[in-house]
Structure 1
Amino acid sequence: MAVRRSIRKTLVQGFGLATALVSVMVAAPAAHAGAIYPAPDRDGFYYAAGNLGGAANGDVLNSRPMPSPWPGASVTQILFRSTNSVGAPIPAVTTLISPGPGPRPLLSYQPFVNSLGMQCAPSHSIFDGSMKESAAFPLLLARGWAIAVPDHLGPDSAYGAARMGGQITLDGIRAVKRFAPAGLGDSPVGLAGYSGGAMSTGFAAALAPDYAPELPIVGVAEGGVPVNPGKMAIEAGDSPQALFGLGFAVAIGMEREYPAEINLDQSLTPFGFGMRERIANSCVDDIISVGANHSISDVFHPGMENDPTMIRTMHENALEMVPELIRAPLYEWHGGSDQVPLNLAMATAGRYCAAGTPVQFDIIPGADHLGAILPGSANAMNYLADRFAGRPAPSNCH
């Protein structure tokens, strides 16, 4: 049971990833509530003042020191301006953890959040003990690195909106560099994330040449990347899935991010309405529990999976489909027995190779999605250390 609980806390984007998306209905608003947004954060720090519209992407809107869980490290939260998927300005938050003022390497780490409630965001989970990945932060601080941890699901916890997550990640790096007390204005930048966090990491790297060309991104490390959630959903079909709740949560998150284009109301079954209400403010463990062993037909009426508007929004958030390519040196790893399709990840990495990007792609033999995390993460941090040191990037592109 302990192993099962650990998997629920750590395993992300697996068997049921985005299975709900294939039945999203794109239609005129129905008589129901439409998109259900999370309960607002009770902390007023998360809300920008009237200067949001006049700020540029990455401008610092507010900051505050936080108590540090790590002796000798300072922790600062920064509110900044970013942009959502349809180009509107939004406030976003990143948490900067540093062993001292720069200059020093800056790693932007995107955790696998996979949640719909604001209380699940990294800026909370770092401090309440629920972010398992933070156990590795002392090792990174010991290397002398500063770590930026963005709330990359945005102000509505729009799980699945990976393009926005990439933009928030890049603007969070800008904000950290513009935050003078940190002394990181001239720091080289690395990006890292696993699974759900790798989606935002990959988009940040792919969007950077056009969205934030001034950022000195020297290396990217991503693992267990779901490069096309929609394709995974189609392959999963209508069979019951242990992690179906995660897929349904993606549908809810995408409806939040694209309320004018995606409307679930007319396609939801009565059970589906109830499930949407129940998990609208949930973190990953509860989402998995509520959705366990359900299937598409439990929550959606059939049809609409071929709607062109729905397909377009899915493709806009799929690394396999977008025209933007990762150009910075890339380390990518994947379990040989990962439930997230290895072939799709390798094919997408092949696109980067064809464009001239040095890619080191490692397969962890026999590892499933959970088992690949630790061995690949150790390799990833060594890879980024070499990039920060200016060593030539390896590549096993064919």
Structure 2
Amino acid sequence: MLLVGGQPAAAESPTPAPLPGVAGPLQEWIENTIPAPQLTPPPQTAPEPQHLTGDDQTALWKSVLSSPVGDPAFDAWPDDLDAMSPGQIIETRDVTAPAATLIDAPIARAQLVKFRSTSATGTPSFGTATFLVPAVAWQGPDPRPVEVDTLPINALGLRCTPGYTLAHGDPDNKGINVFLPNVAAALNKGHAILIPDHEGPLVSYAEPNVAGHMTLDAIRAVRSSAPDEFADSRFAVTGYSGGAIASYATAMLLDEYAPELAGVLVGAAAGGLVTDYGAVARIFNGRTASGILLSVSLAIAREHPEMLEYMNNLAQWVATSPLKNICGEADGPLGAVGIPLEVAASIDHPLDSEIAGHIERLTDLTDRRSGVPLYIYHGANDFWIPLEESRKMYGQQCGLGVTAQFRTVPGEHVSAMMNGAGGATDWIDARLRGEPAPNDCA
């Protein structure tokens, strides 16, 4: 979630006890005034989740997914995922020619990798990632290191992913292009770059379990695709805002999901990080970041379709419209009028409901211990994602014995990204050189 604009949030009141799903006058008026859309879902090869309760909900789930992009690498679900291991390569494609048109650094090759992965609920899925190898020779004594860059995709559409953008040389995805200069800088140092499409094939923006699984499986796939070059390389992951969710989740899920990568993944940097979804949702709701909250709610419902039961008729019209394919630069302006979640829900006080508590529990990784050293940074004046949230997570990880550093940098959410980038880059570079991580945990 990379945020633009907005007003400071008021101090939060204590979270009330969860409420059962009851419609209020606003929800009743919307349901009685706006008819449900007649849904004709496009053909989908994605397996249907277990939580769907009937034909109508199945049709709605299929209708809110991102539209196919016409490229089987991103659209097609293999039939034999059950028989594959997480990280196992499904296919690869050379995308050097289109990728080179977007990256201002010489590259020896760019490869699109499709691999088996795992959904948020533990079912077989697949992922895609782009692997960039620079033309610059690596001067270090050890194998060329790999920087895993979890870009803040912040999108609902498959066409918005880094993988599609680089594979098709698509200059229209400005949300990704903003970050490509950082990718070029790392390539010019001789680092290989791995860019996972961490929202997964359902484009489940901000779902941390998906993001962690996709990133870890991308690392597995790259190591197996070029064992002579990268089986012994160090990997480190870095991300900001929406990308920080993926970087953080990769560190938190490492020990339980990919324990064989311990010692391969040597560090994780995360800036502007969200860990408490409920707290941040209450800050976003009804303010100028409400468009991001609404986008995230739809995206997470793709992986957790039990949420669809609480989507009212108005929301169904919007969620099945072309808005379901928006890229990151569009969801911020959607909230300019401060649309509260109550307008999209079939129940009153949706953020205080049982379903909200259920989703908050599923997306909470704060009970995990990072499998790698951490570098956490946050804007001193970030009025959307509270500084104390990152500071609390840092303290929790210190208490669990994790080697970690925490830095407060000047600025709000956007300027803090730029102000903190140098420190994060230096920290990642040192980990990739094999230097021990400094520890500020007292």
Interval of TM-score (by shorter of Structure 1 and Structure 2): 0.7 to 0.9
Tell me, yes or no, if structure 1 residue 327 matches structure 2 residue 401: no
User: TM-score, normalised on structure 1?
Assistant: 0.87
Q: CA deviation at 1:34?
A: 3.0
- For 2:19 and 2:325, locate their aligned partners in 1 and report how far apart those are by CA, in whole Å: 22
User: CA 1:236–1:359 in structure 2 vs 1: closer, same or farther (change >3 Å)?
Assistant: same
Tell me, yes or no, if structure 1 residue 128 matches structure 2 residue 128: no
Tell me, yes or no, if structure 1 residue 276 matches structure 2 residue 319: yes
Q: Where has structure 1 moved over 6 Å in runs of 4 or more?
A: 12-17, 22-27
Moved more, 99-108 or 216-225: 99-108
3-state SS of the aligned residue for 1:80? strand
Paired residue type of 1:249: S
User: CA 1:286–1:389 in structure 2 vs 1: closer, same or farther (change >3 Å)?
Assistant: closer
Structure 2 unaligned residues grouped into runs of 5+:
10-17, 22-50
1:325-365 CA-partner distances (Å, limit 9, x unpaired): 21311111100001211101110111111111121111013
2:3 aligns to what? 11
2:415 aligns to what? 371
Paired residue type of 1:85: A
1:317 aligns to what? 363
Q: CA deviation at 1:282?
A: 1.2
Tell me, yes or no, if structure 1 residue 61 matches structure 2 residue 90: yes
2:280 aligns to what? 232
Counterpart contact for 2:215–2:250, Cα < 8 Å? yes
Counterpart contact for 2:152–2:240, Cα < 8 Å? yes
2:108 aligns to what? 73
Q: CA deviation at 1:307?
A: 4.2
2:66 aligns to what? 38
Tell me, yes or no, if structure 1 residue 345 matches structure 2 residue 390: yes
- For 1:269 and 1:23, locate their aligned partners in 2 and report how far apart those are by CA, in whole Å: 21
Query: Which residue of the other structure, out of 90, 114, 129, is the alignment partner of 2:154?
Result: 114
1:92 aligns to what? 127
Counterpart contact for 1:12–1:114, Cα < 8 Å? no
Query: Which residue of the other structure, out of 174, 179, 199, is the alignment partner of 2:225?
Result: 179
User: CA 1:111–1:16 in structure 2 vs 1: closer, same or farther (change >3 Å)?
Assistant: farther
User: TM-score, normalised on structure 2?
Assistant: 0.79
- For 1:213 and 1:121, locate their aligned partners in 2 and report how far apart those are by CA, in whole Å: 27
User: CA 1:243–1:275 in structure 2 vs 1: closer, same or farther (change >3 Å)?
Assistant: farther
Tell me, yes or no, if structure 1 residue 199 matches structure 2 residue 241: no
3-state SS of the aligned residue for 1:79? strand
1:5 aligns to what? none
Q: CA deviation at 1:30?
A: 9.1
Bigger RCO (CA 8 Å, 6+ sep): 1
Q: CA deviation at 1:31?
A: 5.2
3-state SS of the aligned residue for 2:184? helix
3-state SS of the aligned residue for 2:415? coil
Query: Which residue of the other structure, out of 252, 256, 269, is the alignment partner of 1:221?
Result: 269
- For 1:116 and 1:23, locate their aligned partners in 2 and report how far apart those are by CA, in whole Å: 29
RMSD: 2.8
Counterpart contact for 2:244–2:271, Cα < 8 Å? yes
Count of residues in correspondence between the two structures? 378
Query: Radius of gyration: which is bigger?
Result: 2
User: CA 1:172–1:16 in structure 2 vs 1: closer, same or farther (change >3 Å)?
Assistant: farther
Q: CA deviation at 1:252?
A: 0.6
- For 1:56 and 1:111, locate their aligned partners in 2 and report how far apart those are by CA, in whole Å: 25
Query: Which residue of the other structure, out of 328, 335, 356, is the alignment partner of 1:291?
Result: 335
Moved more, 371-380 or 75-84: 371-380
Moved more, 134-143 or 144-153: 134-143
- For 1:330 and 1:44, locate their aligned partners in 2 and report how far apart those are by CA, in whole Å: 36
Q: CA deviation at 1:182?
A: 7.1
User: CA 1:344–1:14 in structure 2 vs 1: closer, same or farther (change >3 Å)?
Assistant: farther
User: CA 1:372–1:34 in structure 2 vs 1: closer, same or farther (change >3 Å)?
Assistant: same
Q: CA deviation at 1:253?
A: 1.0
Structure 1 unaligned residues grouped into runs of 5+:
1-8
User: CA 1:288–1:123 in structure 2 vs 1: closer, same or farther (change >3 Å)?
Assistant: same
Give identity over the alignment, percent. Answer: 28
Tell me, yes or no, if structure 1 residue 359 matches structure 2 residue 351: no
Q: CA deviation at 1:48?
A: 4.6
Query: Which residue of the other structure, out of 180, 199, 217, is the alignment partner of 1:153?
Result: 199
Paired residue type of 1:155: P
Q: CA deviation at 1:148?
A: 0.5
Q: CA deviation at 1:94?
A: 0.6
3-state SS of the aligned residue for 1:263? helix
User: CA 1:298–1:371 in structure 2 vs 1: closer, same or farther (change >3 Å)?
Assistant: same
Moved more, 62-71 or 83-92: 62-71
